[in-house]
Structure 1
Amino acid sequence: MVEKQYSSWKIIKRLLSYYSKKKYLLLLSCILIFLSTITEISSPIILSNFISNILKNKVVKIKSAILLTICFITLQILSSLLNYLYNLYFSKISTEIIKELRINIMEIALKQPMKIFDQKPISSIVTKITNDTESIKEFYEVIVSSFLKNFILFSIILTTMFILEWRMALISSIIIPIVIMIIIVHQYYSKPIIKKIKYSLSQLNNTISEIINGITIIQQFNQEKNFIEKINIINNANYLNKMKILKIDGLLLRPLLNLISSIILSAIIAILKLVPKAMIKISILHTFINYLRHLNEPIVTIVNQQSVLQQAIISSERVFRFIDLPIQIYGTYNNSLTSGKIQLKNVYFKYPNTKNNILKNINISIPNKSCIALVGKTGSGKTTLSNLILGYYPATKGTIYIDDKLINSLSNSTLRKNISIVQQDPTILYDNLITNVSLNRKIKNKKIIKALHQSQLKELINTLPDGYMSILGQNGSNLSQGQKQLIGIARILVSNPKILIFDEATASIDSESEQKIQKILSSIRKKSTVIIIAHRLSTIIDSDIIIVLDNGKIIEKGNHQQLLQKKGLYYTMYTYQNNNTYL
């Protein structure tokens, strides 16, 4: 698939489109900028008239001097007030746009197919939501507001200069094409380097995230030096790229100040030499020199912000590439399912960008309210099969039916309400126990408390300092693995799904917690279809059907006794585990 191209101008156009919902506030800000600019350029005109009166009357009037002082102070106060207001409104607009953009990114992220999270590190998505949007904020808060102000200032000053002395103004305007050329050259050389800087920052975030999450493993295997070296390599690459940007800025942007000064000086000398002195009033010359100084400022400001603009464009490209990713497509069937019946017919599956099928010709019929176990060696396809039933991935080939309906015809809400999973390591939020079970779903506390008691968590609740409202540690750091599993089960009990999947839920817990889960499973089986993925075969001997997978294929199927009699792979696995248990 050909990667979508994002040109700088298209990105800027798309960024500016976010102003469409803020057009009235933007218009007000532009009016404030215009008024602020008028107050700034009024001072030289007032001073010019004052000088003309002195030269004409050959005397300084006290009244005129006081009036001039009052006018100056008034204009300065008014200019400061208008500057404050337009900066305030631009900050308000930029903050609202970035808030909208971040929500948009999160909405897209939550609708992405699981393959995106398999292919991209989570920290890279976090970087887009935080760092990249901050760079984009600078586009709205700094670049746009500064460009508008300086463009208006430049236009008004240049127009006034043409009115005062068109020849000198014409010479001064030569700077415009030179500035445009410098901006184009700067963009050409700086854009690829800024891309590398953004990539290295993303790598740095990913590496730091890996180090923090795997700190125990790193210390256990004495790998601190290797990871520090990895950080140093990324930092050095980032440093070298930033030095390149500084060199480009130094060569292209800073000399522009000297260039502008030289042009201004040349213009003044040329006018004084070519035009008879009698044709130029001293007051106009004074005003012109003031305006030339003001004309210098907006050009220098715009050019010096090129690095900030390029960073905003690169960050925007990264964000827009993510936003434009295709979202997970679901069906339109929104009603509740009437049963937990499941059928898989000739199902094949392979992960994106891979050649080999993980699942091959899977045919299963699971009756409503039955208990099915999926067993097999590591990598045999058990978890992949459960992901297809959950609707996380579409089958590469074949069909899957849930409650006699094609799985791709079911809406996302129907799938999530009716099919749930208890994973081996449930995610625990840094929040109270009630919220960890409800997950902000609209569920009454009474129902949540009942589910917690059914999940055999009453003993845990009694030990917590604030009971149900106790804050659980980061990712359940103050809980045992068994307690995490029981909280995961409580989440399921409040929603009563038609299909419940246990993915290695008893793999790493103590025997007491396992007995509690088995007891809960017995009651759930009366209401729901239960699919258990297990390595510990002693936990699934009561299952109605046990499906044995090997290398993505179903090689055996039956209940515990039938499979033992076949003396195939299941018999070998069960015998091996039993012998090891007794040893």
Structure 2
Amino acid sequence: METIKKYILKYKLLILINAILIIFVSALKALQAILFKIIVDTSVGNLNYSISTLIWYSVGFLIAVFTAETLSKAASAAFNKKVLIDYKQSIIESFINSRRRKITSSELISLLSNDVRMIETNYLTSLINIMEDVLLFIVSLYLILRINVYLTIVIFIFGWVPVIVPQLFTKINQELKGQYLKKLERFTNRIKEMAQGFEVIKAFNIENKILNMASKDNKDAEMAGYKSDAFQGFQGALSIVSGFAMFFVNILVATYLVLRGYITVGSMIAAVQLMNYIVNPLISASVYATKIKSVEKIADKIQKEIIEVGKEEVSQGDKSFEFRNSIEIKNLTFSYDGKRNALSNINIKLDKGKKYTLVGESGCGKTTLLRVLLNHITDYEGQVLIDGVDIREFDPASYYRKVSIIQQDVFMFGDTLKNNICLYSECSEEELNEALKQSGLIQVVEKLPKGLDTIVGEGEVELSGGERQRIAIARALIKKAEILLIDEATAALDKVTASDIERTLINLDATVLAVTHKLDPEILKRYDEIFVMRDGEIIERGTLDELLEKRGYFYYMYNYGIDEKEEIETVEETV
């Protein structure tokens, strides 16, 4: 809760304005009882006001209430807006700045839409309402004290019953609310899977199975929501019954005081109205308190999984990045879980301007090595040096200006092709045209209805896998990347397109380290050195001819197209 509280306290002026307006609104509501007292006592002859005066009092009161309520609601909305903008922005910044993503995209969307909205409704709005109820209670208690002390004592004694009773069930309510959110998140994830895997679902004829799973998740979520709402209703009913019990006790006491001549009928009417303003705030305050407690787990989840992750200390230097000679990886070892090494004792050197490739079975550590070079993983043993400087000492912004990655899945923003290439950075027409030419995108642009201004992405003009890869290449060219990391960029493309893309990449004026599964001799022979990985280790290295002459692990991968670990082990035993 600490982050949301920080942003609440940030807007002290808005808090003060809200407090002043709430005081004004509460005082007006309580004064309604006094106005009723004046009107009733005038009607029975205890007071001597004219009808015109009473009308003016009533009109003035209505105008004052309308003005105060309007201003109060506007101030409350402004306060919520400011706090939520900052809170959601902190979540987005923490997510984007974290080195390791701990939640999925659908979880983030659900969090920003469902969870944050629940925090607004059950926390921020409840805080304002509690403040109003407390002030209304205080003002009403003061006014009823002026009417009769004994009646005030009775109200004070019995007034806490509606508050205490519902609190006995707060823990159960929190657990039910947490179960609902968990199942709602599961349903949201299921819907995302349906949307993203639509073609797979159709191709394998599993519509009914997916529908059944989605139906179950939908029912589970709504059942959990029903249980949460029903139990919250039970708590509310307890509060209402407790409030009614208190009201009956107080009205009977007030009736006794009228019969005994201690108060007037007008005072009794005022007391009845004031009792509403005492009982109702006590009931609603307990409900609001329950709502506030119910979102604590949600806020703590956001704090733990997003905000604190974004604040985790990571090694970030301040040196300006320059690349003149070489990249050296020395004795690099890394483990994700502290048990099994994803990388073990890696020692390689990459000279500037040369082209290198990593080959090996799936899961052998190739992508992990790229993540180390991207400085996404920093808690490793050993060193990664660029011209003798540890990459963790470089300023991240300076480093990423000259280091780029091309992946198999090229993400496209729902924007123009130009913005997808330039990635919202300024680039000259000359730079853009050169990038289009080198990446082979000129013909693609010519085919699009609005050229570079064509909106691409999901739901817009769809691009092929090869066209997306060329866009990724153009991004690296615009960026003028000196170090280009390629992670299975052509794995999903046909052989002709893949070979064409890889030729383009090899011809780029950059130091290239490419991960590939395609052992195409025409491509492999153009790399200056091939690194062969297995179980997180570099077990062979050399040019294509050198590796084939060794007749080792790579030789059998190359000749027999073996990519499965078990089969390779069988071949190795034979060797």
Global fold match (TM > 0.5):
yes
Match of 2:427? 443
> How has the CA–CA distance of structure 1 residues 459 and 76 changed in structure 2, closer, same or farther, with 3 Å as cutoff?
same
1:70 is the counterpart of 2:56? yes
| Cα distance between partner residues in 2 of 1:572 and 1:405 | 38
How far apart are residue 430 of structure 1 and its match? 1.3
Match of 2:329? 344
Match of 1:301? 284
| Cα distance between partner residues in 2 of 1:108 and 1:340 | 35
| Cα distance between partner residues in 1 of 2:201 and 2:434 | 42
Q: Once the two structures are superposed, what CA deviation does each residue of 1:506-547 show, in whole Å capped at 9, x if it has no partner?
A: 3333455445434433442xx421112112222221111111
1:102 is the counterpart of 2:91? no
Amino acid at match of 1:376: G
| Cα distance between partner residues in 1 of 2:360 and 2:76 | 61
Amino acid at match of 2:11: K
Amino acid at match of 1:71: Y
User: Are the equivalent residues in 1 in contact too, given 2:482–2:510 (CA < 8 A)?
Assistant: yes
1:210 is the counterpart of 2:193? yes
Q: Secondary structure at the match of 1:212?
A: helix
User: Are the equivalent residues in 1 in contact too, given 2:163–2:282 (CA < 8 A)?
Assistant: no
How far apart are residue 423 of structure 1 and its match? 1.0
Match of 2:34? 45
Q: Secondary structure at the match of 1:401?
A: strand
> How has the CA–CA distance of structure 1 residues 445 and 156 changed in structure 2, closer, same or farther, with 3 Å as cutoff?
farther
User: Are the equivalent residues in 1 in contact too, given 2:166–2:239 (CA < 8 A)?
Assistant: no
Identify the match of residue 329 of structure 1 among 314, 321, 329: 314
Give the alignment's Cα RMSD to 1 decimal. 2.4
Amino acid at match of 2:329: L
How far apart are residue 395 of structure 1 and its match? 5.1
1:80 is the counterpart of 2:51? no
Q: Once the two structures are superposed, what CA deviation does each residue of 1:534-569 show, in whole Å capped at 9, x if it has no partner?
A: 122222211111111122221211111111111112
User: Are the equivalent residues in 1 in contact too, given 2:144–2:152 (CA < 8 A)?
Assistant: yes
Q: Secondary structure at the match of 1:174?
A: helix
Q: Once the two structures are superposed, what CA deviation does each residue of 1:420-475 show, in whole Å capped at 9, x if it has no partner?
A: 11112211111111100111123334422321222111111111111111111318
Match of 1:28? 17
Higher alpha-carbon deviation: 90-99 or 135-144: 135-144
| Cα distance between partner residues in 1 of 2:260 and 2:59 | 33
1:356 is the counterpart of 2:340? yes
| Cα distance between partner residues in 2 of 1:374 and 1:57 | 99
1:284 is the counterpart of 2:267? yes
Amino acid at match of 1:568: G
Identify the match of residue 219 of structure 2 among 224, 236, 252: 236
| Cα distance between partner residues in 2 of 1:242 and 1:358 | 42
Amino acid at match of 2:345: N
> How has the CA–CA distance of structure 1 residues 535 and 27 changed in structure 2, closer, same or farther, with 3 Å as cutoff?
same
Match of 1:464? 448
User: Are the equivalent residues in 1 in contact too, given 2:162–2:243 (CA < 8 A)?
Assistant: no
Gaps of 5+ in 2: 563-575
| Cα distance between partner residues in 1 of 2:183 and 2:290 | 17
| Cα distance between partner residues in 1 of 2:292 and 2:190 | 27
1:159 is the counterpart of 2:142? yes
Match of 2:530? 546
Q: Secondary structure at the match of 1:360?
A: strand
Amino acid at match of 2:454: S
> How has the CA–CA distance of structure 1 residues 476 and 535 changed in structure 2, closer, same or farther, with 3 Å as cutoff?
farther
Identify the match of residue 315 of structure 1 among 270, 289, 298: 298
> How has the CA–CA distance of structure 1 residues 134 and 293 changed in structure 2, closer, same or farther, with 3 Å as cutoff?
same
Match of 2:573? none
Match of 1:4? none
How far apart are residue 269 of structure 1 and its match? 2.2
| Cα distance between partner residues in 2 of 1:274 and 1:75 | 29
> How has the CA–CA distance of structure 1 residues 375 and 205 changed in structure 2, closer, same or farther, with 3 Å as cutoff?
same
Amino acid at match of 1:534: T
| Cα distance between partner residues in 2 of 1:51 and 1:274 | 17
> How has the CA–CA distance of structure 1 residues 519 and 546 changed in structure 2, closer, same or farther, with 3 Å as cutoff?
closer
Identify the match of residue 149 of structure 1 among 111, 114, 132: 132
User: Are the equivalent residues in 1 in contact too, given 2:329–2:385 (CA < 8 A)?
Assistant: yes
How far apart are residue 577 of structure 1 and its match? 5.1
> How has the CA–CA distance of structure 1 residues 210 and 175 changed in structure 2, closer, same or farther, with 3 Å as cutoff?
farther
Match of 1:253? 236
| Cα distance between partner residues in 2 of 1:292 and 1:194 | 33
The within-5 A match list for 1:481-496 is 481-496=465-480
Match of 1:421? 405
Amino acid at match of 2:312: I
User: Are the equivalent residues in 1 in contact too, given 2:147–2:263 (CA < 8 A)?
Assistant: no
Q: Secondary structure at the match of 1:343?
A: strand
1:225 is the counterpart of 2:214? no
User: Are the equivalent residues in 1 in contact too, given 2:353–2:510 (CA < 8 A)?
Assistant: yes
Higher alpha-carbon deviation: 476-485 or 463-472: 476-485
Match of 2:569? none
| Cα distance between partner residues in 2 of 1:361 and 1:543 | 23
Q: Secondary structure at the match of 2:411?
A: coil
With the length of structure 1 as denominator, give the TM-score of the two structures.
0.89
| Cα distance between partner residues in 1 of 2:486 and 2:165 | 63
Match of 1:6? none
| Cα distance between partner residues in 1 of 2:313 and 2:510 | 27
Amino acid at match of 2:218: N
Match of 1:5? none
The within-5 A match list for 1:260-279 is 260-273=243-256, 277-279=260-262
User: Are the equivalent residues in 1 in contact too, given 2:320–2:399 (CA < 8 A)?
Assistant: no
Q: Once the two structures are superposed, what CA deviation does each residue of 1:17-58 show, in whole Å capped at 9, x if it has no partner?
A: 322221112211221121122222223213323444454479
Gaps of 5+ in 1: 1-10, 579-583
Match of 2:350? 366
How far apart are residue 399 of structure 1 and its match? 1.6
| Cα distance between partner residues in 2 of 1:521 and 1:217 | 31
How far apart are residue 478 of structure 1 and its match? 1.7
> How has the CA–CA distance of structure 1 residues 17 and 556 changed in structure 2, closer, same or farther, with 3 Å as cutoff?
closer
Amino acid at match of 1:557: R
With the length of structure 2 as denominator, give the TM-score of the two structures.
0.91
- What number of residue pairs does the alignment pair up? 558
Q: Once the two structures are superposed, what CA deviation does each residue of 1:400-419 show, in whole Å capped at 9, x if it has no partner?
A: 11232112212221331122
Amino acid at match of 2:63: I
How far apart are residue 141 of structure 1 and its match? 4.9
Match of 1:174? 157
1:528 is the counterpart of 2:501? no
Q: Secondary structure at the match of 1:478?
A: coil
| Cα distance between partner residues in 1 of 2:180 and 2:171 | 16
Q: Secondary structure at the match of 1:449?
A: helix
Identity of aligned residues (%): 23
> How has the CA–CA distance of structure 1 residues 90 and 431 changed in structure 2, closer, same or farther, with 3 Å as cutoff?
same
How far apart are residue 140 of structure 1 and its match? 5.3
Match of 2:98? 112
